[in-house]
């Protein structure tokens, strides 16, 4: 089985936008891979005028939030770095136990790479500051800059969501058959760990399991 890989467009986000952006992207992907009986739940983003869809599973939502928290912690320790979250879907296959392998193995059939460039928080030009009220011009220009930046992020996020839709539509054959009673395929969310090398090792392991080189598009 092929492992389809989708590298999503890189998003330049600020620290406080990470949670919303990741929730939006990860839930959208999972919704397209939750092929069991789902009750879709619309969620409006607070920072952007975008509505995304969740599959409505509470456990899934909780796990995704946990992963996002981990990612945010990592970002705080590694500021101003490009980061990547990998959402992988796999099948569990049993195999002959051997010295190096377990009884079961994961066959990854799809990987989504969410690329984020977390920018450093700009200097405080918050309108909440009393000083900005005194000096009108810098506050106004900062607000305009902020709103234009926000619009850009929103547009980029929309592009990413359309990219997901396009990918889901174009590639359907590799999706495994739906199991009875299963809402969504087994998935895994990986992110850079404390050291980048460990993250790289995870990638290599995954490649070995899938049996195909990572297809970068």
Partner 1 sequence: MEMDRESGKLEQIVSQFRSKILHVVLDSRVPSLHRHQQHDSLSLSRVRKTDKWFNLVLGDRPPALENLNFSLRNLLDPMVIDIILVRHASCSSSVDNLYSPSAAAAGPSTETVIERWVVQYDCPRGFASPSGADASVSYKKIYKKCILLLRSLYTQMRLLPAYRIFRQLSSLNQTYNFDIVYKVSSFSHPFSREEEDGMKEYSFSPVEALPGCLCVSVTYHATLSDFDLEPLVSLPPKIITDYVGSPTTDPMRSFPSSERGAHATSFPFRGLRPPTSAPFQRPHSWSSGFHRGIPPTKTQSLAGSPPVYRTSPKPYDITSPPTDLYGNRIQNHRVSTLQQATAYDEYKLSPPFSPSASPSTPTYLSGANPLLTRHCSETAPVTIPLPPTGRSNRYLSPNSSDPSRHSLPPLSPRSSKHDTSSQESPSGIRSYRKIEALRAGESPSGLSNLYSAPKVVRDSKDDSGRFSGLLSSSGSPRIGFSRSSSRLSFQDDMDDCEFSCPFDVDDVDVSDSSSQNTENKRASEFTAQSNLVGKKSQDAAVGILVHMLRTAPPLRQDSSCYSTRSLRAEYEGGVGIASGFFMPRKTADALEELNSYREMKDLLLSKSGTQVVRKEGMK
Residue 33 token pair? 């891979």
Is the distance from CB of 2 to CB of 212 less than 8 angstroms? yes
| Contact window for partner 1 (CB under 8 A) among 30-38, 78-86, 105-113, 191-199 | 30-38
Smallest distance, partner 1 to C-beta of residue 36, A: 6
Residue 81 token pair? 């770095």
Q: Applying CB under 8 A, which of residues 3, 8, 48, 84 lies at the interface with partner 1?
A: 48
Backbone angles phi, psi at 58, to 5 degrees: -70, -40
Q: Is 49 in the site for partner 1 (CB under 8 A)?
A: yes
Buried b (16+ CB within 10 A) or exposed e, 93-105: eeeeeeeeeeeee
Smallest distance, partner 1 to C-beta of residue 147, A: 11
Q: Applying CB under 8 A, which of residues 169, 208, 213, 216 lies at the interface with partner 1?
A: 169
| Contact window for partner 1 (CB under 8 A) among 24-32, 120-128, 188-196, 207-215 | 24-32
Q: Is 35 in the site for partner 1 (CB under 8 A)?
A: yes
Buried b (16+ CB within 10 A) or exposed e, 134-163: eeeeebeebeeeeeeeeeebbebbeebbee
Nearer to partner 1, 38 or 203 (CB): 38
Place of tokens 């790479």: 113
Q: Applying CB under 8 A, which of residues 16, 40, 97, 147 lies at the interface with partner 1?
A: 40
| Contact window for partner 1 (CB under 8 A) among 75-83, 84-92, 165-173, 206-214 | 165-173
Distance in angstroms (rounded) separating the CA atoms of residues 109 and 104: 16
Nearer to partner 1, 168 or 203 (CB): 168
Distance in angstroms (rounded) separating the CA atoms of residues 146 and 117: 17
Sites of contact with partner 1 (CB under 8 A): 28, 31-32, 35-54, 56, 158, 161-162, 164-165, 168-170, 172, 175, 177-178
């Amino acid at each position: 089985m092929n492992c389809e890989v989708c590298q999503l467009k890189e998003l330049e986000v600020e620290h406080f936008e990470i949670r919303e952006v990741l929730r939006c992207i990860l839930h959208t992907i999972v919704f397209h891979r939750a092929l069991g009986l789902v009750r879709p739940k619309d969620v409006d983003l607070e920072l952007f005028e975008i509505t995304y869809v969740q599959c409505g599973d509470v456990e899934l939502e909780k796990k995704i939030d946990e992963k996002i928290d981990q990612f945010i912690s990592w970002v705080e320790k590694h500021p101003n770095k490009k980061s990547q979250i990998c959402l992988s879907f796999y099948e569990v296959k049993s195999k002959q136990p051997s010295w190096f392998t377990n009884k079961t193995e994961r066959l990854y059939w799809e990987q989504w790479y969410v690329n984020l460039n977390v920018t450093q928080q700009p200097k405080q030009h918050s309108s909440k500051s009393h000083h900005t009220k005194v000096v009108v011009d810098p506050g106004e220009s900062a607000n305009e800059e902020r709103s234009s930046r926000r619009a850009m992020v929103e547009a980029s996020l929309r592009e990413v969501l359309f990219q997901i839709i396009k990918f889901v539509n174009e590639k359907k054959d590799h999706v495994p058959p739906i199991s009875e009673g299963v809402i969504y395929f087994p998935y895994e969310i990986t992110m850079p760990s404390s050291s980048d090398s460990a993250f790289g090792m995870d990638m290599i392991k995954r490649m070995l399991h899938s049996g195909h080189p990572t297809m970068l598009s």
